[in-house]
Amino acid sequence: MPVNLSIKNVPDDLAEELRRRAAKNHRSLQGELLMILEESVARNRGLSPSELLKDIRSAGLRTPSESARFIREERDAHAGR
């Protein structure tokens, strides 16, 4: 059964930024907040094997050398190289 949540004392500037984000994404404020929560929970739960495979295929990786190149590029990007 769905639960109603409430956040009290949200600073005006944060509330306005959330409203802008919701409008940009063509969602209501409630819809935007729910999407933020869903993304946060999904990010913390990790990927299932089928989700991981889907992500790998969507990245266009086909061979071990392509995978190694992709990993190096990601590592270098995060290291600021």
The predicted-structure confidence for 29-78, as pLDDT tens digits, reads as follows 999 999 999 888 877 777 788 888 888 788 777 777 777 888 888 888 88
Q: What is the DSSP string of the chain?
A: --------S--HHHHHHHHHHHHHTT--HHHHHHHHHHHHHHHHH---HHHHHHHHHHTT--SHHHHHHHHHHHHHHHHT-
Confidence of residue 81 (pLDDT cuts 50, 70, 90): low
Which pTM value belongs to this model? Answer: 0.53
